[in-house]
């Protein structure tokens, strides 16, 4: 269960406390794309997202988007508008893609945070390479058909994790 447990869980990227990241000496951020930064396959850049990336960069964080999505000009344009690196066609949670993202950032796993909306891709992959991980709620309801099955398994895991955290809070 440890590999499926995020370091932190928040509603959205906008709820991530940058002080929390700095307190853990985070220098780099690897982020998922679909249903983490934007709704699935909606690669338009909202002002709020652009401002968030600007804030990250102003605070000294290096960023890269790591997505399983196929290469597309719209995704490249989005990354360019956000001023961030991009790795497309990743097969998360395969570790080599996370290592490649770390190489692009020039950071080590202990100083990098992976942000995503899925336990079995983003959290698992990030934990396998030794990064901090943040699980966010997915943005929309639309997603790849194969992901729907994984969401069922994810609910079981998250329920189990919830039981464990409530037990530890109650001192059991």
Domain boundaries, the chain: 2-142
> How many whole angstroms separate alpha carbon 62 and alpha carbon 32?
14
Which carries the bigger pLDDT value, residue 111 or residue 44? 111
Mean pLDDT over all residues of the chain?
88
Residue 109 corresponds to which tokens in the numbers above? 């796993």
Q: Is the predicted pLDDT of residue 139 greater than 60, yes or no? A: yes
Q: Say what the pLDDT of residue 1 is.
A: 75
Q: Is the predicted pLDDT of residue 171 greater than 60, yes or no? A: no
| CA-closest candidate to residue 90, choices 41, 151, 32 | 32
Q: What value does the mean pLDDT take over residues 41-69?
A: 94
CA distances from 166 to 30, 126, 163, 170 (A): 29, 24, 5, 6
- Name the superfamily (CATH) of residues 2-142: HAD superfamily/HAD-like (3.40.50.1000)
Q: Is the predicted pLDDT of residue 169 greater than 90, yes or no? A: no
Q: Are 135 and 116 in contact (CB under 8 A)?
A: yes
């Amino acid at each position: 269960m440890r590999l499926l447990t995020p370091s932190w869980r928040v509603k959205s990227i906008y709820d991530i406390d940058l002080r929390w990241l700095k307190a853990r000496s985070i220098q780099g951020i690897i982020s998922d794309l679909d249903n983490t930064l934007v709704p699935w396959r909606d690669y338009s850049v909202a002002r709020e997202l652009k401002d968030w990336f600007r804030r990250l960069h102003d605070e000294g964080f290096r960023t890269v988007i790591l997505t399983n999505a196929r290469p597309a000009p719209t995704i490249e344009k989005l990354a360019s508008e956000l001023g961030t690196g991009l790795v497309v066609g990743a097969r998360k949670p395969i570790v080599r893609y996370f290592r490649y993202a770390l190489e692009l950032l020039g950071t080590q796993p202990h100083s990098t945070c992976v942000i995503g909306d899925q336990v079995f891709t983003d959290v698992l992959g990030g934990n396998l390479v030794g990064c901090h991980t943040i699980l966010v709620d997915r943005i929309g309801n639309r997603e790849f058909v194969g992901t729907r099955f994984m969401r069922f398994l994810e609910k079981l895991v998250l329920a189990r994790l919830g039981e464990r955290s409530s037990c530890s809070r109650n001192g059991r």
